[in-house]
Amino acid sequence: MQIRTQTGAVMYEAEFRAYTKANGGPSWDITTTEVLEALGAEVVFEGAQATGGTVYQYSQASGVEQIDGK
């Protein structure tokens, strides 16, 4: 799972936990949307993946897009 912080930085959950701990933030057991809201962060949902084509076709993240508030 990827998480976007208030600053716009996008990182994986383990990185976010380390970042929060390093900046004097709280620790938590299970990451939920309520926990992320309290920390001022949100989940980044995956977009459409490559389908069909040749064996060399792949998907690569190249940015974050907001759709319908998510």
pLDDT at 46: 76
pLDDT at 27: 87
Query: Could you tell me which residues are beta bridge partners of residue 28?
Result: none
Say whether pLDDT at 47 is over 90: no
Q: Which positions ≥6 away from 41 have C-beta within 8 Å?
A: 3, 4, 5, 6, 16
The span from the CA of 25 to the CA of 22, in Å, is 7
Query: Which has more confidence, 59 or 20?
Result: 20
Q: For residue 66, name the pLDDT band (cuts at 50, 70, 90).
A: confident
In this structure, are residues 22 and 57 in contact, taking their beta carbons and an 8 Å threshold?
A: no
pLDDT at 21: 92
pTM value is 0.65
**Strands 2-4 vs 42-44: parallel, antiparallel or unpaired:** antiparallel
